């Protein structure tokens, strides 16, 4: 069920080809402006770039988060949604707060609209959570508390007219990811959903989706690609049967040039987002490169007006709100740019090409959220790469922790203490530490295989009662924090929780003992490293080289993987750093006179730097790693081990 991003490419979607053609033709407006119920006309004026206005776009780092390819090969990501922070998961929940949920529009053969998979990306690991029930899902939206995922599906339906339906997937008590409600292709909301005030043909190629974010008085909005209409379902919080469906407006739509009309080829209102602050529903129309605003939604008197047209808009396919300043962030399918537009003035305040080397049509869904530190994170889909990217602040999150052999734990920067084994009567010294994915917990491991869990880390077993041939020397956690591996000096690997065993070096005649282990980002493999620099790869871990044939000044003492698993660093006791694969060398202490030997290495979240720690607790920061303190000047009871 898990997938690791590879360099393989899938067939471009028909819509991507449409955007390529439009970009080549420099199309900026198609057809006449049609406004819907209660709509007011507006003059179409291309937006101007607001001088002196600061945009966040070019201050952010672009990080590839994970693959969007499903277990069955479904690909071409269209819809994206981030699980709200207030969602309360239960045992076996399909998602957790902060998870990225993505829909795949194509099947493995590249047939548009035949994809049936919804995938979850968590800590770089892709897991298929729903498959075979919904086809051609183009849009995703969570309700206010994140308990229900609403999907707009424009793929094959039981009914020929109209095309598409809307379905609901619950996050809790739903292990198979089945849909509890669906229009079943009839175009009319049926009684298995929360809405029963049916409007015939209300779903006609549903694409964009949004909620008003009000948990006590929720309203759901959607846009149709086959008729340009935008609807609202209100009174969702009322007793069953009280729901109200309202047509809010209609914007231009139609097939791309030289193409027959269909849900997979039509252009129109492809994305929507609701601003509770402004009481306005914003709509991007890829048919005539226009951004609309529908005000008066909450009062029952909707008015549609043009916010911006042409200019920086080129096949706008996705829209979200920048939670920091309230601006709109729009993904342009025609030229692969993300633009930031002031919704009050229509002015473009920033633009960034996030896929300059990719063909037109690479961008689709986009979602912005506020992180725990108050900064913004912008997630966008690249359907050429079949990946999710994240635009985040350039600074690496500060903070790190390390452990002493007596079980003492030392925290610096943003890292917090959740306990230690310093006061325990240990049978054997602690030899390693591993953090949970959210950094709110950690495990310590002792040489006899004893495991000590703190914070949100849970104990899944230990090797303390085993008759080990050689002592344990390291620990690595699985990406979801639901398991871990222990490794012994003879290369024996012991898997606990959801960690799987993919092999070991226990039966090999090693030249030097194993000293460390590092897991791949998807948890489906790991590397072992020996003191002579030999690297042993298991599962989906790939070998990118080793220091086994080098004349090392000091033995290797640790290994760390790059965030994408396409490389790793080795570190020696003298602080020499050896980079392989896509790991980059950012510096070392090999030419320094150290007070104590180096004992470990930890990369920064983006892989553009790393920290080295010495046995006396001295910390050395390289690349984008920041120095937040050390125990180098302290009198430690026992040496630091990692």
Supply the pLDDT for residue 53.
Answer: 52
In whole angstroms, what is the distance from residue 597 CA to residue 571 CA? 11
On whether the CB atoms of residues 328 and 343 are closer than 8 A, the answer is yes
Supply the pLDDT for residue 242.
Answer: 55
Q: What are phi and psi of 384, to 5 degrees?
A: -75, -40
Supply the pLDDT for residue 392.
Answer: 87
Most confident among 2-16, 22-36, 68-82, 144-158 (mean pLDDT): 68-82
Structure-model confidence comparison of residues 469 and 244, the more confident one = 469
Q: What is the mean pLDDT of residues 528-538?
A: 98
Of 36-50, 410-424, 445-459, 574-588, least confident by mean pLDDT is 36-50
The DSSP annotation for 11-43 comes to PPPHHHHHHHHHHHHT----S-----TT-----
- Residue 292: DSSP 8-state: E
On whether the CB atoms of residues 371 and 60 are closer than 8 A, the answer is no
Structure-model confidence comparison of residues 39 and 365, the more confident one = 365
pLDDT in tens, 66-85: 899 999 999 999 999 999 99
Residue 443 has pLDDT above 60, yes or no: yes
Residue 480 has pLDDT above 90, yes or no: no
**pTM over cut 0.85:** no
pLDDT in tens, 122-143: 877 889 999 987 888 899 999 8
Q: Does domain 400-623 have CATH number 3.90.226.10?
A: no
Omega cis (within 30) before 162: yes
Report how far apart, in Å, the C-alpha atoms of 188 and of each of 199, 241, 490 are.
6, 14, 64
- Residue 398: DSSP 8-state: P
Q: What is the mean pLDDT of residues 47-70?
A: 73
Q: What is the mean pLDDT of residues 224-238?
A: 82
Residue 10: both structure tokens together? 């899938």
The DSSP annotation for 387-443 comes to EEEEEEESSPPP-EEEEBTTS-EEEETT------STTS--SS-EEEEEE-TTSSEEE
Tell me, rounded to whole angstroms, the distance of Cα 557 from its chain centroid.
32
Supply the pLDDT for residue 249.
Answer: 94
Domain ranges of the chain: 2-393, 400-623
On whether the CB atoms of residues 382 and 355 are closer than 8 A, the answer is yes
Supply the pLDDT for residue 528.
Answer: 98
Q: What is the mean pLDDT of residues 598-609?
A: 90
Percent share of the chain, pLDDT over 90: 60
Structure-model confidence comparison of residues 257 and 23, the more confident one = 257
401 CB neighbour count, 10 Å cutoff: 19
Supply the pLDDT for residue 81.
Answer: 97
Residue 192 has pLDDT above 90, yes or no: no
Supply the pLDDT for residue 482.
Answer: 92
Residue 217 has pLDDT above 70, yes or no: yes
CATH number of 2-393: 2.120.10.30
Site of tokens 């028909």: 14
């Amino acid at each position: 069920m898990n997938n690791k991003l590879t360099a393989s490419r899938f067939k471009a979607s028909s819509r991507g080809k449409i955007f390529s053609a439009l970009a080549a033709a420099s199309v900026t407006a198609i057809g006449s402006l049609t406004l819907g119920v209660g709509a007011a006309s507006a003059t179409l004026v291309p937006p101007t770039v607001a001088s002196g206005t600061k945009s966040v776009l070019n201050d952010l780092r672009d990080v590839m988060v994970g693959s969007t390819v499903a277990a069955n090969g479904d690909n071409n990501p269209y819809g994206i949604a981030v699980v709200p922070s207030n969602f309360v998961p239960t045992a076996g929940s399909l998602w957790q707060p902060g998870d990225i949920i993505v829909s795949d529009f194509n099947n493995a053969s590249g047939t548009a609209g035949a994809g049936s998979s919804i995938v979850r990306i968590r800590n770089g690991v892709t897991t298929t959570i729903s498959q075979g029930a919904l086809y051609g899902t183009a849009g995703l939206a969570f309700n206010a508390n994140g308990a229900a995922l609403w999907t707009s599906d424009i793929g094959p339906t039981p009914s020929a007219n109209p095309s598409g339906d809307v379905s609901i997937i619950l996050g809790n008590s739903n292990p198979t990811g089945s849909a509890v409600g669906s229009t079943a292709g009839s175009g009319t909301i049926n009684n298995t959903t929360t809405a029963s005030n049916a409007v015939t043909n209300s779903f006609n190629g549903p694409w964009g989706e949004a909620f008003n974010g009000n948990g006590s008085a929720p309203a759901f909005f959607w846009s149709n690609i086959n008729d340009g209409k935008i609807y609202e379902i209100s009174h969702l919080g009322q007793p069953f049967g009280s729901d109200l469906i309202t047509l809010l407006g209609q914007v231009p739509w139609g097939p791309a040039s030289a193409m027959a009309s269909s849900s997979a080829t039509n252009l129109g209102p492809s994305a929507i987002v609701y601003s509770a602050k402004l009481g306005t529903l914003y709509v991007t129309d890829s048919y005539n490169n226009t951004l609309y605003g529908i005000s008066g939604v909450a009062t029952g008197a909707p008015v549609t007006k043009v916010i911006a047209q042409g200019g920086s808009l080129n096949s706008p396919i996705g829209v979200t709100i920048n939670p920091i300043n309230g601006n709109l962030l729009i993904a342009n399918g025609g030229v692969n740019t993300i633009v930031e537009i002031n919704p009050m003035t229509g002015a473009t305040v920033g633009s960034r090409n996030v896929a300059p080397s990719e063909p037109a049509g690479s961008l689709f869904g986009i979602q912005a959220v506020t992180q725990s530190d108050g900064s913004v994170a912008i997630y966008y889909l690249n359907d050429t790469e079949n990946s999710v990217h994240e635009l985040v602040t350039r600074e690496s999150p500060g903070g790190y922790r390390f452990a002493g052999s007596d079980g003492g734990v030392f925290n610096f920067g943003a890292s917090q203490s959740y306990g230690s084994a310093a006061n325990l009567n240990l049978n054997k010294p602690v030899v390693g530490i591993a953090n949970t994915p959210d950094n709110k917990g950690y495990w310590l491991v002792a040489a006899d295989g004893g495991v000590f869990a703190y914070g949100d880390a849970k104990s899944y077993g230990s090797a303390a009662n085993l008759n080990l041939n050689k002592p344990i020397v390291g620990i690595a956690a699985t990406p979801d924090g639901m398991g871990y591996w222990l490794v012994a000096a003879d290369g024996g690997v012991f898997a606990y929780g959801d960690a799987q065993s993919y092999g070991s070096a226990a039966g090999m005649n090693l030249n030097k003992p194993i000293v460390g282990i590092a897991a791949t980002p998807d948890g489906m493999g790991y590397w072992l490293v020996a003191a002579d620099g030999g690297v042993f790869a298991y599962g989906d871990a790939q070998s990118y080289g080793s220091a086994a044939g080098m004349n090392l000044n000091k033995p290797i003492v640790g290994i760390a993987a790059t965030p994408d698993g396409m490389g790793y660093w080795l570190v020696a006791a003298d602080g020499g750093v050896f980079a392989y694969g896509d790991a980059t060398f950012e510096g070392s202490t090999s030419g320094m006179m150290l007070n104590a030997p180096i004992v470990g290495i930890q990369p920064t979240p983006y892989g553009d730097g790393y920290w080295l720690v010495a046995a006396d607790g001295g910390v050395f920061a390289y690349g984008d790693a920041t120095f937040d303190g050390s125990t180098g000047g302290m009198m430690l009871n026992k040496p630091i081990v990692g």
